[in-house]
Structure 1
Amino acid sequence: MKFAVGDKYESIIQKSDLVSRDLSWLKFNVRVLDQSKKEHRNIFEKLKFLAITASNLDEFFMIRVGSLYNYLDYEKERIDYSGLREEPFKAKLMKDCQLFHSAQHEHFTDKILPELVREGVSLCNTSMLTEQEQEKVKQYFLKAIYPMLTPMVYDGYRTFPILMNKLLVFGVVTTSPGERKDMRKLSFVQIPANIPRFFEIERDNSLLLIPIEEVIREHIISLFRNVNIEGISLFRITRNGDFTLEESEDMDANFLEEVKRKLMERKTGRVVRIEIEEGYSKWMLNSLLERWNLKMDSVFLVKRASMIDFTGLWQIVGGRRFKDRLPQMHEPVKPLSYQEEGRADIFEILKEKDVLLHHPYNNIDSILDLIETAAEDPNVMAIKMTIYRLAKESRITKALLKAAENGKHVSVLFEVKARFDEENNIREAKKLQKAGCFVIYGITHLKTHTKLLLIVKKDDSEITRYVHLGSGNYNEDTARLYTDIGLLTTNETLANDVSEFFNVITGHSMPSQYKNLITAPRDMRNQLIEYIEQEAENARAGLPAGIFIKVNSLEDSEIIYALYRASQSGVTIKLIVRGICCLRPGRQGLSENIEVLSIVGDFLEHSRIYHFHNNGETRTYAGSADMMVRSFDKRLESLFKVEAPLLEKQLMNILSYNLKDNVNAYRMQEDGTYLAKHPEGDEPEFNVHKEFFNLDPEQVIQVKLIE
């Protein structure tokens, strides 16, 4: 049965009180693409954001479209927030994906390529080269590429080869001399991932970039001697990367092996997308569509003037020739609550006061230094932490290994189900386990997403617990690109809460309550709804009421309807949601008092902050959790209360600055679209990604979200 995506389905979508999670995500990637169109950015920044949209879309197809096919293939029922069932929703989703794909490639050919030429960089094929340059390319092919290529024929004698996810592939249709056309054969030539995307030739003061597929296309006949080549088609496939672990009674015993098995299955997962160059062999494509049970709406056509797979643009962005062309990051500044000069003993500082860190404006080195110092300090007895994603050359792993070597008790929960970091986390966890650390490979049916660190130190006759709680990963690479919140404290209440939570994670404990910690999956959704309902009650009583929340994603319907009810009660609600937002702001009779902004710019907004006015007795939390079903029901998450007046003001100021931004901000409309905010009248530009490097402490202390 075929479904057209016309006015009928559009009207159903707009009538729904909720915005589709997947359609909302596509709108987010549109905002990322918009960064590549900003006039104030140079060509290398524009290339970076275009590459990010491509890697974003790859993951979207692997996970979200892959998940949709899990329903379609196994005839499971699902109604999307849009109100559409599986097939109509797929038709709508593919239509929007096709539109986005067209926008990407139109921007690349019409804007990016001409601007690159003005910078002295040209993408070209071999016909545009001199004889000497062509010979250079030929020798490169013969020596570096030809030995790595393996033509794989598919016919009645050979099985269909496994084509790898996200690799460029040539499909070559051939016949033997004298054979009928219906005896044609199909062969595949995969381009290995470890070959650079472009072959570079310097000519005078310019740089010529020859895509690797053009180099191979020019010489591919050398792989098919004495046969007739009927067609050569360049394409790329995306496979389903969404997997869930099968629950069973003996799951705990085989947990790690089950994860490894699923990772192997990901390599042969169901094909969900084909990107193919124009001029393709129709016979070949029809064969692929039939084999992979796909329709033409899953085929994305790429013009020869463009290129398949914009993630290859990272080679240009990261090239040594242009390394200075990307904006240099501002030097990190000292946290407002930790202005001491010199290298004062961080342990002594934390005994006196809490320190709030706001990355990347504040350096992550203070956390890394704390762990490294603890590893060497003879008075430190134990280090416990949760790890979700690590940097490639992680200082964290090295410090924990050193701590174990020095005889300290080290407990680490490595979340081996962290998507696309599974293999790295298993490898790093085994290193620690071999060194004598107590390692947990995650918890069977939950992802441990909370970010916690506990250091136990004995000084004279006293034992002090040093705690770090955060919104971001213990990853020194992403900490320079993501905005995140971290709290360093020796507060006994939080230390008790964190100790109890570690007992839940590493043992079999169910504490009756936490004092300053809200955790999932136990009570986070209910606690947040209770706070929302308190604001609604205050508003109905004529008291000041306000809700200010900053998250990556808002998708949980119970939270959304609680916010709708609060809006109808007169509560001022301002939400800063970077990505997915399934709530409709500004709908008459439903959400007139809700405003939604999205900040997309130089840094990836990753911090989560929850602020409730509570008639002046404010409640302010930060932590690892978004407002999503998975965060509340399928993950170990935590939000920590910030009570120190200066630190709470800092969090309120972060919210205030985000709301003021008129450079990186987009305002969500009732229909689910977004409009960019711009300075109005004589209003100066306010770029939140610059302003945090120049904080005025007095302004922070005086900040108010509700007058």
Structure 2
Amino acid sequence: MPTNPAPSHLKIVPDPVDLGNPKLYINRELSWLQFNARVLEEAEDLTHPLLERVKFLSIFSSNLDEFFMIRISGLREQLSGGVLEAPPDGMTPSEQIAAVRQELMDQLSRFSHCWQNDILPKLELSDIHVLRYSQLQPKQKKLLGRYFSREIFPTLTPLAFDPAHPFPHISNLSFNLAVVAKDPERGECFARVKIPTTFPRLLRIPNEDMVTESEQLGLTELAANNFVWLEEVVAANIGLLFPGLKIMAAHPFRITRDADFEIEEDEAADLLESIEEQIDQRHFGSVVRLEIDQSTPDSIRDVLVRNLSLAPYQVYTQDLPLGLSSLMELTRIERPDLKFPPFLPATPELLQKSESLFSTIRRDDVLLYHPYDNFMPVVDFLREAAKDPNVLTIKQTLYRVGSKSPIVDALMEARENGKQVAVLFELKARFDEENNIEWAKKLEAEGVHVVYGVLGLKTHAKMCLVVRRDEDGLRRYVHLGTGNYNPVTSRIYTDLSFFTCQPAVGADVSDLFNALTGYSRKDSYSKLLVAPRLMREQLLERINREIDRHKTNQDGYIVFKMNALADKACIQALYRASQTGVKIDLQVRGVCGLRPGVPGVSDNITVTSIVGRFLEHARIYYFRNGGQEEVFLGSADLMPRNLDRRVEIMFPVESPRLREMVLHDLLNIYLKDNVKVRRLLPDGGYERLKPKKHETPLDAQEWMVNCRGKGTVDKA
């Protein structure tokens, strides 16, 4: 792909070049906002089916919630703690918070316009009506009033705020009404009413011609695609909670709290119990954001700001309903004409035979690319191991498995069948802790050896080891992946699965499991690159090897495909490679701290990003190495947290056939995308590329659906 030269007026660094110059780095938080802006662009994309555009709006909103809970809360902690260590770009916490708010104002304005002026009218034309309560007909309001009295009213609890009642606790991301009522004797009173989560956020309502005085139907029984916001129904009927008082105002608000907790593991006698306690504390973290409706009067705003101890910059005012991640509810409507055509993942021919998976893996390594290739062979690998009388031991790492897991079911079955089963369950997988705790307890109850992660680290590596007694002796069968052992996310994330029984790989995986579940100082492996000890060093060695090779042969080439690039040492190594003349193609879905196209620094580096129907999640690291090509796959991005604070692996693809598949059928296609791809500019912004006149349009994900998947409707 061609590089993008920096604008002639952009003088970023002096000569000679100082690779520590903060101007050479893009701020992580602002880069993340650029990623979420690309998600918003997908919602604005008129070529997408309508309900898919709604989905992208929901994802944008959900991403933003997590950004405030984790990243903004982290910046505020640095600010309050007087942290002086600056990121590579040199911005202070206060500078970052101010820059984030400025960028967000534009994005939220675009979001509002996209929903209210574009998508909402088109939903109306498609006979899907998302209405404000004020738009309803009298008969519809009457039916909703009956429903409110019967179903919602009993679940509500008004909490007063006055000298006798302290300001109530507001839980994280809950929807609330700030109510002002006038008492004949006491005057104006303030109360908070929490909107219950036991009802859909979007209540389904009937068309007016369906309403009769005699109908007693519950709203969930009605088929019409007419919806109204739950909090508006509550607000319209709030007087029932305050008999004898006059309702002066009822306005929605929502807060976001710090949800990033740290466990002092060396002081925790029981890690599982400590994490359970910390999960509960998420509801009590410091407030980092208050969202209110633009019609909220200053008097209510002041009460909330004062009692939540907020600064003005933490208040976000909106002209549309709050918390629109709830729009995901609309995507459950059965309207195939408004969604992407479903497709059936393919099963490679070598796995379609009736023989044992172990026999297939013994003949050759197997590589799958999800969701285009079916995830079921991964599940079948464990199910077969659980039943096979020749299997002695199964060892597995689990990070995010979901609420229903055939993987965990297979592990429990294996234990029931007398296998030795050991599972490293990472309890610290953010926002999946509760799921993981429940699964860990169930596995332990079945007699599975469960290890709750490693002291001071998160175990993010994706590994499964099966020890089997074959005719010629014991053999280790291994599955390694770039994504989680989760069949649900495997249909919407792009990830790679690798099966092998290579003795050297099996020995490495066995050694690593022993280090994770027991005591070991082993930090060198034959085939695997392992974090936190040596992965960065081994990657830098390969970048330097490419530099040395290019100096003599002028053929240096590096391609990295990953989720994020923020590690300063890795960025500087790539800068040095570019200065030598090594051509570097980076495809980074999310955060990227490297500035491409800077004269004298990164002229030979291009950075692109693809946000589309599927979440790009696979990590691929390619080094030309003078024709002795190396391809590594793995779970790690080039981030300090991955390289220093997580157990991660990268594994080589040494089969010439599979290596060619990765290079030709994956990387080559992604680098040729000219439909969905955005290119990072030196100033940190992105531009969307379009096919040139002589070019054939190529959407990499669509190509994968049609050429790797079956491209047919999945009726399962």
Flag structure 1 segments of 5+ consecutive residues without an equivalent. 1-9, 698-707
Output the CA distance in 2 between the equivalents of 1:449 and 1:340.
Answer: 28
Code of the aligned partner of 2:704: F
**Distance across 2 between alignment mates of 1:474 and 1:681:** 43
Evaluate the alpha carbon distance shift between residue 128 and residue 86 of structure 1 in structure 2; reply closer, same or farther with a 3 A threshold.
closer
Tell me whether 1:147 sits opposite 2:154 in the alignment.
Answer: yes
Distance 1:328 1:435 in 2: 41
Conservation of the 8 A alpha-carbon contact between 1:78 and 1:86: no
Query: Given the alignment, which residue of 530, 552, 559 partners 2:563?
Result: 552
Cα offset for 1:696? 8.7
Q: Does 1:604 align with 2:615?
A: yes
Contact 1:152/1:187 (<8 A) preserved: yes
Offset of 1:275 from its aligned partner? 1.1
Confirm or deny that 1:189 pairs with 2:193.
yes
Alignment partner, residue 7 of structure 2: none
8 Å contact from structure 1 (residues 625, 637) kept in 2:
yes
Deviation of 1:690 (Å): 2.1
Listed as ranges, the matches of 1:448-467 within 5 Å are 448-460=459-471, 462-467=473-478
Are the aligned partners of 2:49 and 2:340 in contact in 1 as well (CA < 8 Å)?
no
C-alpha separation between the residues in 2 aligned to 1:128 and 1:599?
Answer: 39
Indicate whether 1:232 and 2:250 are aligned.
Answer: yes
Residue in 2 aligned with 1:392? 403
- In structure 2, the CA distance between the partners of 1:651 and 1:110, relative to structure 1 (3 Å rule), is same
2:432 maps to 1:425: no
Q: 1:86-97, aligned counterparts within 5 Å?
A: 86-97=93-104
- Segments of 5+ residues of structure 2 without an aligned counterpart are 1-10, 14-19, 210-222, 710-716
Distance in 2 (CA, whole Å) between partners of 1:275 and 1:80 is: 29
Q: How far 1:206 sits from its partner (Å)?
A: 6.4
**CA distance in structure 2 between the aligned counterparts of 1:244 and 1:323, rounded to whole angstroms:** 44
Match for residue 311 of structure 1 among 325, 335, 347: 325
1:92 to 1:130, Cα distance in 2 relative to 1, 3 A: closer
What is the Cα deviation at residue 463 of structure 1? 1.3
Q: Are 1:215 and 2:233 an aligned pair?
A: yes
State whether structure 2 residue 272 is matched by structure 1 residue 242.
no
User: Matches of 2:252 and 2:707 in 1, distance apart?
Assistant: 52
Aligned residues: CA RMSD: 2.0
Find the aligned partners of 2:172 and 2:708 in 1 and give their Cα distance: 49
3-state SS of 2:360 partner: helix
Is the Cα contact below 8 Å between 1:36 and 1:46 reproduced in 2? yes
Secondary structure at 2:361 match in 1: helix
Structure 1 segment 174-185 matched on structure 2, within 5 A: 174-179=181-186, 184-185=188-189
Q: Which has the higher contact order (CA 8 A, sep 6+)?
A: 2
2:601 is paired with a residue of what secondary structure?
Answer: coil
Structure 2 letter corresponding to 1:664: K
Is the CA contact 2:579–2:603 (under 8 Å) kept in the aligned structure 1? yes
Question: Helix, strand or coil: the match of 2:44?
Answer: coil
1:222 alignment partner, SS class: helix
Is the CA contact 2:373–2:708 (under 8 Å) kept in the aligned structure 1? no
Superimposed CA distance per residue, residues 439-467 of structure 1 (whole angstroms, 9 cap, x where no aligned partner):
00111210000000000111345112110
Q: Give the Cα–Cα distance (whole angstroms) in 2 for the partners of residues 449 and 151 of structure 1.
A: 43
Change in Cα spacing, 1:340 to 1:162, as seen in structure 2 (3 Å) is: closer
Alignment correspondent of 1:518: 529
* Equivalent of residue 693 in structure 2, options 673, 677, 681: 681
Q: How does 1:42-441 map to 2 (within 5 A)?
A: 42-179=49-186, 184-203=188-207, 207-248=225-266, 250-251=267-268, 253-303=269-319, 306-319=320-333, 321-322=334-335, 325-335=338-348, 338-339=349-350, 341-441=352-452
Alignment partner of 2:338: what SS? Answer: coil
1:197/1:136 Cα in 2 relative to 1: closer, same or farther (>3 Å)?
same
Q: Which residue of 2 aligns with 1:4?
A: none
**TM-score scaled by structure 2?**
0.92
Question: Could you tell me which amino acid in structure 2 is paired with residue 129 of structure 1?
Answer: L
Residue 39 (structure 1) aligned with residue 43 (structure 2): no
CA 1:695–1:11 in 2, change beyond 3 Å: closer, same or farther? closer
Decide which moves more: 494-503 or 205-214.
205-214
Structure 1 contact 21–81 (Cα < 8 Å) conserved: no
Are 2:239 and 2:246, in contact at CA under 8 Å, matched by a contact in 1? no
Letter of the structure 1 residue corresponding to residue 249 of structure 2: G
Task: State the one-letter code of the partner of 1:99.
Answer: D
The count of aligned residue pairs is 678
TM-score (norm 1): 0.93
> 1:232 corresponds to which letter in structure 2?
A
Report the Cα offset of residue 72 of structure 1: 2.1
* 1:19 to partner: Cα distance: 0.4
Q: Which moved more, 1:425-434 or 1:511-520?
A: 511-520
Task: Give the stretch that moved more between structures: 681-690 or 613-622.
Answer: 681-690
SS of residue in 2 equivalent to 1:188:
strand
For the 8 Å contact 2:68–2:258, the answer to whether it is kept is: yes
The residue matched to 1:541 in structure 2 has which SS? helix
Q: 2:507 aligns with which of 496, 506, 531?
A: 496
- In the alignment, which residue of structure 2 is the partner of 1:621? 632
Query: What is residue 592 of structure 2 aligned with on the other side?
Result: 581
SS where residue 584 of structure 1 aligns? Answer: coil
**Structure-2 change in CA distance of 1:115 and 1:672 (3 Å):** same
CA 1:513–1:79 in 2, change beyond 3 Å: closer, same or farther? closer
Superposition deviation, residue 692 in structure 1: 2.2
Counterparts of 1:528 and 1:648 in 2: how far apart (Å)?
18
Distance 2:584 2:516 in 1: 34
In structure 2, the residue matched to 1:700 is: none
- 1: distance between equivalents of 2:316 and 2:156? 25
Instruction: Quote the sequence identity (%).
Output: 38
Contact 2:27 2:89 in 1 (8 A): yes
The answer to which of 428-437 and 91-100 deviates more is 91-100
1: CA distance between counterparts of 2:338 and 2:380?
31
Match of 1:637 in 2: 648
Secondary structure of 1:361's partner? coil
The 8 Å contact of residues 317 and 323 in structure 1, kept in 2 or not, is answered as: no
Q: Deviations over 1:472-502 (max 9, x none)?
A: 0000000011000111001111001100110
Using the TM superposition, give the Cα deviation of residue 158 of structure 1 relative to its aligned residue in structure 2, in angstroms.
Answer: 1.8
Give 3-state SS (helix, strand or coil) of 1:123's partner: strand
Deviation at 1:343, TM superposition (A): 2.6
How far does residue 178 in structure 1 lie from its aligned partner after superposition? 4.3
Kept in 2, the 8 Å contact 1:125–1:211? The answer is yes
Distance 1:178 1:511 in 2: 76
**3-state SS in 2 of match to 1:549:** strand
Q: CA offset at residue 347 of structure 1?
A: 0.9
Is the 8 Å Cα contact of residues 255 and 444 (structure 1) preserved in structure 2?
Answer: no
Aligned match of 1:703: none
How far residue 62 of structure 1 moved from its aligned partner, in angstroms, is 0.5
Q: Is the deviation greater in 75-84 or in 403-412?
A: 75-84
CA gap of 1:191–1:681, structure 2 versus 1, over 3 A, is same
Q: Per the alignment, in what secondary structure is the counterpart of residue 295 of structure 2?
A: coil
Contact 1:164 1:268 in 2 (8 A): yes
- Aligned amino acid, residue 297 of structure 2: S
The one-letter amino acid paired with 2:379 is L
What CA deviation, in whole Å up to 9, does each residue of 1:107-131 have, x standing for no partner?
1111111111111122223443333
